[in-house]
Amino acid sequence: MQPHKCQIQRALVGYFTSAKFLLYLGHALSTWGDRMWHFAVSVFLVELYGNSLLLTAVYGLVVAGSVLLLGAIIGDWVDKNSRLKVAQTSLVVQNASVILCGIILMIIFLFKTQLLTLYHGWLLTMCYILVITIANIANLASTATAITIQRDWIVVVAGEDRSKLADMNATIRRIDQLTNILAPMAVGQIMTFGSPMIGCGFISGWNLMSMCVEYLLLWKVYQKTPTLALKCSKVEESELKQLNIKKENDMKPAEGVQLIVEKDVTGFEPQQEKEVGCAARIAEPFITFRDGWVAYYNQPVFLAGMGLAFLYMTVLGFDCITTGYAYTQGLSGSVLSLLMGASAITGIMGTVAFTWLRRKCGLIRTGLISGVAQLSCLVLCAISVFMPGSPLDLTVSPFADISARLFENEPLPTIASPGGEPEVAFATGMPNLLNGSTTPAYADPEMSPEPVPLISVSLLFAGVIAARVGLWSFDLTVTQLLQENVAESERGIINGVQNSMNYLLDLLHFIMVILAPNPEAFGLLVLISVSFVAMGHIMYFRFAQKSLGKQIFACCTPDPKAVSDSSLPGNTSTV
């Protein structure tokens, strides 16, 4: 009995000191800090600007635009530098930026009255610009961290065991699901029972502590995984690929080596000797941007990545758009919080379903099954548009409220999602979240609104919550396809472009809401969202058809290796 107990203890110690667990722990700390900051920065900006959402809207647009334009460049930087340098640099820049932002915000909260009187308020305006700029730098550094850890380090730590890679991806998503709910709740309680200034101080202190711990964890993972120190460049990968081709053609080894040497001598040594001019330096980011998108288009998993991006063009999620609509339909804040908790549970169920389906059916078929499951659940959302209680009225012009406000010279109301992106509130009923009131904006204090049938909104949220199982399983499928089938030397730039595509479709869905902000038009937005999700899965179906051919209609059969259908034509991954 005693030897068995010692074995268990050794196994536990081995797991808690393994590179895999240390990676989970570092990701949990990083994600917790990110979620707290994304939630709090929008509230801080609203509080500072006199309960106006202008600064939050500007911040959201700056963040989305920056990632859209710089995603490929950030990814290229990740590819061209050593893994440890990239991870440590992005970690320090991200946390230092948040700490600096927190300190600046504390100063503004303390001396806002004095700053308003200096230089006719221009000093305070410069402080706002400085906060948004530094916060944007923090978000860009966070993007670099996510690319290098979740798309590169995790692949190397898993080694050639793709089942282990799938389990690690699923665990990372579970951590994301939990922190998405718990971190905003924690910092929200601190800000409620304390003050915004206390919230700034807490977040700054957390990031300082977290940065030190994460830095140490990264170093430990790097030490425990020697292969992280080995990173193939594009030149080396092309050489290896060419050498393999020569071997397949039964060429002599000397001839293959000679070709590589010639390529190295004629193709790269003159470039090192050539001086780079000023114009070339200026043009380099634009060339990188172009090359990144071209490389993304040429990837064998291009259609799968596009399919995932199209899922961002939707109002069927738990953001402030759907929350605002729910308030107009009579749902209370407590009910919505329960629904959000249910969505987190179904999201975690999706990660479990992914690992099980992948073992049984293979990776690509898992994406097909997940897509069918998500679309089947979203049919409930489409049906809800035509059920009793739905405010859908196509006779009401979606631009009526915009026109009225333009004539009245009033700004369009906006709200902010947890990620900081601006969203437009519904003109006829957005709750006053800042004051803690759930009374619709249109309600007359002396009149109680007529009860709205809950059949439509119940079907809507039932579909949204149930669809999370297929959504997160599909997300993990595409994530692993990118990890397995993108060349090691291009993981950064390809995933950077993928992030840009996601932000682009996300911005389009905000624009869609801006053009049709009335509750009467929300049903139309639901139908458009379902259509975009369907188009995304059609793209993935086309990708699967190309990869599997006629086998996509075969019955699911147990596959011990579960990797045979995830190696695509043109795959140059070194995993």
What is the pLDDT confidence band of residue 114, given thresholds at 50, 70 and 90? Answer: confident
Sequence-distant (≥ 6) Cβ neighbours of residue 164 within 8 angstroms = 20, 158
Helix, strand, coil share (%) of the chain residues, nearest 5: 75, 0, 20
| pLDDT, mean over the chain | 79
Torsion, Cα 309 315 319 320, to 10 degrees, reads 140
Instruction: Kindly state the percentage of the chain with pLDDT values over 70.
Output: 76
For residue 312, CA distances in Å to 254, 349, 532, 540 come to 51, 20, 9, 15
pLDDT for 322 equals 80
pLDDT for 400 equals 53
500 touches 67 (CB < 8 A): yes
Distance between CA atoms of 385 and 377, rounded to whole angstroms? Answer: 14
**Tokens standing for 546?**
């190309």
Q: How far is CA 179 from the centre of its chain?
A: 14
Average pLDDT score over residue span 498-507: 92
Most confident of 53-67, 515-529, 555-569: 515-529
The DSSP annotation for 481-494 comes to HHHHHS-GGGHHHH
pLDDT for 335 equals 84
What is the pLDDT confidence band of residue 215, given thresholds at 50, 70 and 90? Answer: very high
Sequence-distant (≥ 6) Cβ neighbours of residue 417 within 8 angstroms = 60, 319, 320, 321, 423
CA-wise closest residue to 46 among 60, 66, 28? 60
Distance between CA atoms of 93 and 101, rounded to whole angstroms? Answer: 12
